[in-house]
């Protein structure tokens, strides 16, 4: 429970309301063990919005006027942890297996599409872009695009800007860093992605448990360390939707602690513990 010096209460009923909102808005399942975490994360939002209790804050959140704050609530109770080239074996597979096939399609007049679902602050999408440029140097002049999406408007804006702490840039291989990264003269201590590579990623806000205004299918989708927040039902439904948005033979990459349990229903075959290929 929160410490006694907090000037607003937090009841079991408040936690249940947060759980209901999280499930209805984003398919997020909050176990009892997250009760204190929810308090810690949302108490900051309550202070910033000027409310004096969880009850009054949540009363506002569920109204039409509270729609934007409802989004901030969802963002507050989820964790945005990412880095450049995280889980490097996925990028090796993308480089050696997926992108050569995309290159052949592009040379034949086709298109290439990659998706970083739940892209957080964008390092994953930019890592995909750098890997793409390493295999297909003229990708920006071809029908090649990378989509980065996240439910959190603030982190999507960071990804779109492509400006990061210089110390975080160190995870980028040196050859790629020399080509695509420069110090940001306007922000000491920061570096930015630069050059024609910026033409590849497109960043948009998207709730994975809402409608997807996506028409094209993808050669590969990265959806990693996301479903850990979801109920089993929501998780399986998401895997199926993602698989449906892959081209035949396309790949789905998941987090190291995640598994697609019903592969047959998704028309997927496991190539490794975290890489699945769509049949066809």
Identify whether 277 is a catalytic site residue. no
- State the fold for domain 12-77: Chemotaxis Receptor Methyltransferase Cher; domain 1 (1.10.155)
pLDDT at 5: 42
Quote the pLDDT of residue 71: 85
pLDDT digits (tens, 9 = 90+) for 126-142: 999 999 999 999 999 99
Strand positions, DSSP E, the chain: 112-117, 144-150, 163-165, 181-183, 190-193, 201-205, 218-222, 246-253, 268-270, 275-278
- Average pLDDT, integer, range 3-12: 64
For residue 29 the two structure tokens come to: 């399942």
How many angstroms from the chain centroid is the CA of residue 112? 20
Three-state secondary-structure class, residue 246: strand
pLDDT band, residue 4 (cuts 50/70/90): very low
| Selected residue with higher pLDDT from 7 and 270 | 270
Q: Does 207 belong to an annotated binding site?
A: yes
Classify 88-278 by CATH class.
alpha beta
Q: Is 170 annotated in some ligand binding site? A: no
> How sure is the predictor about 153, in pLDDT bands with cuts at 50, 70 and 90?
confident
Start-to-end CA distance of the chain, whole Å, equals 52
Q: According to the model, what pLDDT value does residue 8 have?
A: 67
Note the pLDDT of residue 1.
37
Report the chain's mean pLDDT, rounded to a whole number. Answer: 92
- pLDDT at residue 3 in the model: 39
Q: What integer is the mean pLDDT of 1-25?
A: 76
Residue 80 reports pLDDT greater than 80: no
Pairing of strands 218-222, 112-117: parallel
- Name the more confident of 41 and 3: 41
> Which has the closest alpha carbon to 129: 147, 108, 102?
147
pLDDT at 7: 57
Task: Give 46's contacts (C-beta < 8 A, 6+ positions apart).
Answer: 8, 52, 53, 54, 57
DSSP-assigned letters across all residues of 158-192: HHHHTEEETTGGGGS-HHHHHHHEEE-TTSTTEEE
Q: Which two tokens stand for residue 263?
A: 């592969």
Q: Which candidate in 14, 71, 150, 219 is catalytic?
A: 150
pLDDT at 79 over 80: no
Q: Which range has the worst mean pLDDT, 6-15, 36-45, 63-72, 176-185?
A: 6-15
Has 41 been annotated as catalytic?
Answer: yes
pLDDT of 143 strictly over 80: yes
pLDDT tens digits, 188-215: 999 999 999 999 999 999 999 889 999 9
* pLDDT at 184 exceeding the cut of 70: yes
Q: Do the annotations mark residue 208 as ligand-binding? A: yes
Considering only CA atoms, which of 11, 30, 32, 34 is closest in space to residue 22?
A: 30
Tell me: is residue 7 an annotated ligand-binding position: no
How many CB atoms within 10 Å of residue 160? 17
Q: How would you write 86-102 as a 3-class SS string? A: CCHHHHHHHHHHHHHHH
Is residue 131 within 8 Å of 99, Cβ to Cβ?
A: yes
**pLDDT grade for 230, boundaries at 50, 70 and 90:** confident
Assess whether pLDDT exceeds 80 at residue 41. Answer: yes
Determine if residue 82 is labeled as part of a ligand binding site. Answer: yes
| 163-165: strand order across its sheet | 163-165, 190-193, 181-183
Q: Are 228 and 259 in contact (CB under 8 A)?
A: no
Boundaries of every domain in the chain: 12-77, 88-278
- Cα 106 to Cα 29, 135, 252, 257: the distances in Å are 41, 12, 20, 34
- The torsion angles phi and psi of 201, rounded to 5 degrees, stand at -80, 145
Identified catalytic residue from 41, 45, 47, 198: 41
Residue 10 is given by DSSP the state: -
State yes or no: 225 annotated in a binding site: yes
């Amino acid at each position: 429970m929160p410490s006694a010096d907090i000037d607003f209460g937090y009841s079991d009923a408040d936690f249940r309301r947060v759980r209901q909102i999280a499930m209805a808005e984003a398919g997020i399942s909050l176990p009892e063990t997250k009760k204190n975490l929810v308090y810690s994360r949302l108490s900051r939002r309550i202070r910033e919005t000027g409310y004096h209790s969880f009850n009054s804050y949540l009363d506002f959140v569920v109204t039409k006027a509270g729609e934007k704050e409802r989004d901030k609530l969802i963002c507050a109770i989820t964790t945005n942890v990412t880095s450049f080239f995280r889980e490097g074996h996925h990028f090796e597979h993308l480089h050696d297996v997926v992108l050569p096939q995309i290159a052949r399609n592009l040379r034949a007049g086709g298109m290439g599409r990659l998706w970083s679902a739940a892209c957080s602050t964008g390092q994953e999408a930019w890592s995909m872009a750098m890997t793409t440029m390493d295999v297909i140097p003229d990708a920006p002049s071809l029908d090649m695009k990378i989509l980065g999406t996240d439910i959190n408007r603030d982190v999507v804006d960071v990804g779109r800007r492509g400006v990061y702490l210089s110390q975080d840039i160190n995870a980028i291989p040196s050859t790629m860093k020399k080509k695509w990264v420069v110090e940001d003269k306007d922000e000491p201590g920061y570096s930015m992605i630069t050059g024609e590579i910026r033409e590849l990623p497109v960043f948009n806000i998207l709730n994975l448990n809402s409608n997807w205004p996506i028409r094209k299918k993808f050669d590969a989708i990265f959806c990693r360390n996301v479903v850990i927040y979801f109920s089993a039902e929501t998780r399986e439904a998401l895997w199926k939707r993602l698989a449906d948005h892959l081209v035949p033979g396309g790949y789905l990459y998941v987090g190291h602690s995640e598994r697609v349990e019903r592969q047959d229903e998704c028309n997927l075959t496991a190539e490794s513990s975290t890489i699945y290929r769509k049949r066809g």
